[in-house]
Amino acid sequence: MPNTVIEAQEATESAEQAVVTAHEKIATLERKVINGDGKVTAAQITAAKEQAAFAELQASAAQNEEARVREAVYQAELAEFMAEYEEFASTDMEPLREAYNLAVVGLAEFISLVKERKEYERSIRLKARPLNLGGPDRTNEPVWKDRERWHSIVMPSEVATVVDYVRHEAENGYPVSAGRVTTHMFHTDARRADMATIRSAPRGAYREAARPLLDALVKAYTEE
Protein backbone atom coordinates (compact mmCIF):
# COMPACT_ATOMS: atom_id res chain seq x y z
CA MET A 1 0.00 0.00 0.00
CA PRO A 2 1.45 3.40 -0.95
CA ASN A 3 2.16 5.74 1.94
CA THR A 4 2.87 8.94 0.04
CA VAL A 5 1.08 10.86 -2.68
CA ILE A 6 4.00 10.28 -5.05
CA GLU A 7 3.92 6.51 -4.47
CA ALA A 8 0.15 6.44 -4.93
CA GLN A 9 0.36 8.53 -8.10
CA GLU A 10 3.06 6.25 -9.53
CA ALA A 11 0.94 3.18 -8.74
CA THR A 12 -2.04 4.76 -10.51
CA GLU A 13 0.03 5.66 -13.55
CA SER A 14 1.41 2.11 -13.71
CA ALA A 15 -2.07 0.59 -13.46
CA GLU A 16 -3.45 2.93 -16.13
CA GLN A 17 -0.55 2.05 -18.43
CA ALA A 18 -1.39 -1.63 -17.91
CA VAL A 19 -4.93 -0.88 -19.16
CA VAL A 20 -3.52 0.82 -22.26
CA THR A 21 -1.19 -2.11 -22.91
CA ALA A 22 -4.02 -4.64 -22.47
CA HIS A 23 -6.24 -2.84 -24.97
CA GLU A 24 -3.36 -2.54 -27.42
CA LYS A 25 -2.94 -6.32 -27.20
CA ILE A 26 -6.64 -6.83 -28.01
CA ALA A 27 -6.40 -4.48 -30.98
CA THR A 28 -3.29 -6.29 -32.25
CA LEU A 29 -4.97 -9.70 -32.05
CA GLU A 30 -8.11 -8.42 -33.79
CA ARG A 31 -6.05 -6.88 -36.61
CA LYS A 32 -4.27 -10.17 -37.12
CA VAL A 33 -7.59 -12.01 -37.48
CA ILE A 34 -8.84 -9.40 -39.93
CA ASN A 35 -5.61 -9.74 -41.94
CA GLY A 36 -6.09 -13.49 -42.16
CA ASP A 37 -3.75 -14.74 -39.46
CA GLY A 38 -5.18 -18.16 -38.67
CA LYS A 39 -2.97 -18.70 -35.67
CA VAL A 40 -5.04 -16.33 -33.51
CA THR A 41 -7.78 -18.09 -31.60
CA ALA A 42 -11.00 -16.89 -30.04
CA ALA A 43 -9.68 -18.01 -26.69
CA GLN A 44 -6.69 -15.69 -27.05
CA ILE A 45 -8.92 -12.69 -27.76
CA THR A 46 -11.26 -13.62 -24.90
CA ALA A 47 -8.32 -13.97 -22.53
CA ALA A 48 -6.94 -10.60 -23.67
CA LYS A 49 -10.28 -8.94 -23.06
CA GLU A 50 -10.51 -10.51 -19.61
CA GLN A 51 -7.01 -9.23 -18.83
CA ALA A 52 -8.03 -5.76 -20.01
CA ALA A 53 -11.17 -5.83 -17.86
CA PHE A 54 -9.13 -6.93 -14.84
CA ALA A 55 -6.52 -4.24 -15.55
CA GLU A 56 -9.31 -1.64 -15.56
CA LEU A 57 -10.47 -2.89 -12.16
CA GLN A 58 -6.91 -2.64 -10.86
CA ALA A 59 -6.61 0.88 -12.28
CA SER A 60 -9.84 1.89 -10.53
CA ALA A 61 -8.50 0.41 -7.29
CA ALA A 62 -5.23 2.36 -7.70
CA GLN A 63 -7.14 5.59 -8.40
CA ASN A 64 -9.26 5.06 -5.29
CA GLU A 65 -6.14 4.37 -3.21
CA GLU A 66 -4.48 7.51 -4.56
CA ALA A 67 -7.56 9.52 -3.64
CA ARG A 68 -7.49 8.01 -0.14
CA VAL A 69 -3.80 8.83 0.31
CA ARG A 70 -4.31 12.37 -0.97
CA GLU A 71 -7.20 12.88 1.43
CA ALA A 72 -5.15 11.55 4.34
CA VAL A 73 -2.27 13.88 3.48
CA TYR A 74 -4.68 16.80 3.11
CA GLN A 75 -6.30 16.11 6.47
CA ALA A 76 -2.87 15.92 8.15
CA GLU A 77 -1.78 19.20 6.55
CA LEU A 78 -5.12 20.77 7.44
CA ALA A 79 -4.80 19.74 11.08
CA GLU A 80 -1.25 21.11 11.24
CA PHE A 81 -2.31 24.39 9.66
CA MET A 82 -5.36 24.80 11.90
CA ALA A 83 -3.19 24.25 14.97
CA GLU A 84 -0.78 26.93 13.79
CA TYR A 85 -3.68 29.20 12.79
CA GLU A 86 -5.25 28.82 16.23
CA GLU A 87 -1.94 29.68 17.86
CA PHE A 88 -1.71 32.78 15.65
CA ALA A 89 -5.30 33.80 16.30
CA SER A 90 -4.85 33.37 20.05
CA THR A 91 -1.64 35.40 20.29
CA ASP A 92 -1.71 38.14 22.89
CA MET A 93 -1.98 41.41 20.93
CA GLU A 94 -1.33 43.68 23.91
CA PRO A 95 2.46 43.96 23.43
CA LEU A 96 1.93 44.95 19.79
CA ARG A 97 -0.81 47.42 20.68
CA GLU A 98 1.37 48.93 23.40
CA ALA A 99 4.30 49.26 21.00
CA TYR A 100 2.01 50.88 18.42
CA ASN A 101 0.68 53.39 20.92
CA LEU A 102 4.21 54.22 22.05
CA ALA A 103 5.19 54.74 18.41
CA VAL A 104 2.22 57.05 17.84
CA VAL A 105 2.88 59.05 21.00
CA GLY A 106 6.60 59.24 20.30
CA LEU A 107 6.11 60.32 16.71
CA ALA A 108 3.46 62.87 17.71
CA GLU A 109 5.85 64.39 20.26
CA PHE A 110 8.65 64.37 17.70
CA ILE A 111 6.51 66.07 15.04
CA SER A 112 5.46 68.72 17.55
CA LEU A 113 9.10 69.47 18.37
CA VAL A 114 9.99 69.52 14.67
CA LYS A 115 7.24 72.06 13.97
CA GLU A 116 8.47 74.22 16.84
CA ARG A 117 11.96 74.03 15.44
CA LYS A 118 10.72 75.00 11.97
CA GLU A 119 9.01 78.08 13.38
CA TYR A 120 12.19 79.00 15.20
CA GLU A 121 14.15 78.55 11.97
CA ARG A 122 11.76 80.84 10.06
CA SER A 123 12.13 83.47 12.76
CA ILE A 124 15.93 83.36 12.48
CA ARG A 125 15.78 83.68 8.69
CA LEU A 126 13.43 86.69 8.86
CA LYS A 127 15.56 88.47 11.46
CA ALA A 128 18.76 87.84 9.48
CA ARG A 129 17.51 89.39 6.22
CA PRO A 130 17.66 93.09 7.17
CA LEU A 131 21.09 92.57 8.77
CA ASN A 132 22.69 91.61 5.45
CA LEU A 133 24.55 88.63 6.89
CA GLY A 134 23.83 86.35 3.94
CA GLY A 135 26.18 85.42 1.16
CA PRO A 136 26.73 87.37 -2.07
CA ASP A 137 24.64 84.91 -4.08
CA ARG A 138 21.74 85.16 -1.64
CA THR A 139 21.85 81.50 -0.61
CA ASN A 140 19.65 80.18 2.17
CA GLU A 141 22.23 80.44 4.93
CA PRO A 142 21.19 83.42 7.12
CA VAL A 143 24.78 83.91 8.32
CA TRP A 144 27.19 83.38 5.45
CA LYS A 145 30.28 83.06 7.65
CA ASP A 146 28.59 80.30 9.67
CA ARG A 147 27.17 78.34 6.73
CA GLU A 148 29.02 75.11 7.60
CA ARG A 149 27.38 74.89 11.01
CA TRP A 150 24.02 75.97 9.57
CA HIS A 151 23.85 72.88 7.41
CA SER A 152 24.34 70.69 10.47
CA ILE A 153 21.52 72.27 12.49
CA VAL A 154 18.85 73.08 9.88
CA MET A 155 16.28 70.41 9.08
CA PRO A 156 14.62 69.42 5.80
CA SER A 157 12.09 71.84 4.39
CA GLU A 158 9.03 69.62 5.00
CA VAL A 159 7.90 67.85 8.17
CA ALA A 160 6.75 64.95 5.97
CA THR A 161 10.33 64.53 4.79
CA VAL A 162 11.52 64.25 8.37
CA VAL A 163 8.86 61.61 9.07
CA ASP A 164 10.00 59.72 5.97
CA TYR A 165 13.50 59.69 7.45
CA VAL A 166 12.13 58.18 10.64
CA ARG A 167 10.14 55.51 8.80
CA HIS A 168 12.97 54.52 6.48
CA GLU A 169 15.52 54.41 9.27
CA ALA A 170 13.20 52.34 11.47
CA GLU A 171 12.57 49.87 8.65
CA ASN A 172 16.02 49.68 7.06
CA GLY A 173 18.47 51.05 9.60
CA TYR A 174 19.31 54.24 7.73
CA PRO A 175 17.54 57.26 6.17
CA VAL A 176 17.89 58.14 2.50
CA SER A 177 18.01 61.38 0.57
CA ALA A 178 18.09 61.36 -3.24
CA GLY A 179 18.53 57.60 -3.06
CA ARG A 180 21.62 57.78 -0.83
CA VAL A 181 22.31 57.02 2.81
CA THR A 182 22.24 60.37 4.59
CA THR A 183 22.79 61.96 7.96
CA HIS A 184 20.89 64.88 9.42
CA MET A 185 20.60 67.12 12.41
CA PHE A 186 18.77 64.53 14.50
CA HIS A 187 21.62 62.02 14.42
CA THR A 188 23.95 61.71 17.37
CA ASP A 189 27.67 61.47 16.72
CA ALA A 190 27.39 57.70 17.21
CA ARG A 191 24.67 57.42 14.59
CA ARG A 192 26.64 59.60 12.18
CA ALA A 193 29.45 57.08 12.57
CA ASP A 194 26.93 54.29 11.89
CA MET A 195 25.85 56.02 8.67
CA ALA A 196 29.49 56.25 7.56
CA THR A 197 29.88 52.51 8.18
CA ILE A 198 26.74 51.75 6.18
CA ARG A 199 27.83 53.96 3.28
CA SER A 200 31.13 52.10 3.13
CA ALA A 201 29.33 48.79 2.52
CA PRO A 202 28.90 47.55 -1.06
CA ARG A 203 25.77 48.76 -2.84
CA GLY A 204 22.98 46.30 -2.24
CA ALA A 205 24.39 45.36 1.17
CA TYR A 206 23.35 48.49 3.08
CA ARG A 207 20.55 46.74 4.96
CA GLU A 208 22.83 43.91 6.06
CA ALA A 209 25.34 46.43 7.34
CA ALA A 210 22.64 48.57 8.99
CA ARG A 211 20.70 45.81 10.75
CA PRO A 212 23.10 45.09 13.64
CA LEU A 213 23.68 48.82 14.14
CA LEU A 214 19.92 49.44 14.34
CA ASP A 215 19.48 46.50 16.71
CA ALA A 216 22.19 47.95 18.94
CA LEU A 217 20.44 51.34 18.91
CA VAL A 218 17.08 49.81 19.84
CA LYS A 219 18.70 47.74 22.59
CA ALA A 220 20.46 50.78 24.02
CA TYR A 221 17.20 52.75 24.25
CA THR A 222 14.98 49.90 25.49
CA GLU A 223 17.41 48.94 28.25
CA GLU A 224 17.61 52.45 29.64
Measuring CA to CA, how many Å separate 221 from each of 31, 169, 191, 214?
88, 15, 13, 11
**Could you give the percent of the chain with pLDDT greater than 90?**
73
- pLDDT, tens digit (0-9, with 9 covering 90-100), for 174-185: 999 888 999 888
Name 123's Cβ contacts closer than 8 Å, sequence gap at least 6.
none
Cα dihedral 107, 108, 111, 117 sign? negative
What angle, 0 to 180 degrees and rounded to 10, lies between the N-to-C axes of helices 5-34 and 42-89?
Answer: 160
How far apart, in whole angstroms, are the C-alpha atoms of residue 12 and residue 216? 58
The band of 159, judged by pLDDT with boundaries at 50, 70 and 90, is: confident
How far apart, in whole angstroms, are the C-alpha atoms of residue 180 and residue 114? 23
How far apart, in whole angstroms, are the C-alpha atoms of residue 19 and residue 25? 10
The band of 99, judged by pLDDT with boundaries at 50, 70 and 90, is: very high
Question: pTM for this one?
Answer: 0.65
Name 185's Cβ contacts closer than 8 Å, sequence gap at least 6.
152, 153, 154, 155
Cα atoms in the Cβ-side hemisphere of radius 13 Å centred on 77: 7
How far apart, in whole angstroms, are the C-alpha atoms of residue 8 and residue 169? 52
- pLDDT, tens digit (0-9, with 9 covering 90-100), for 78-91: 999 999 999 999 99
**Could you give the percent of the chain with pLDDT greater than 70?**
97
Q: What integer is the mean pLDDT of 88-106?
A: 95
| pLDDT above 80 (res 223) | no
- pLDDT, tens digit (0-9, with 9 covering 90-100), for 110-157: 999 999 999 999 999 899 888 888 777 656 788 988 888 887 788 777
For position 148, what pLDDT does the model report? 84
- pLDDT, tens digit (0-9, with 9 covering 90-100), for 20-38: 999 999 999 999 999 999 9
Cα dihedral 147, 152, 158, 159 sign? negative
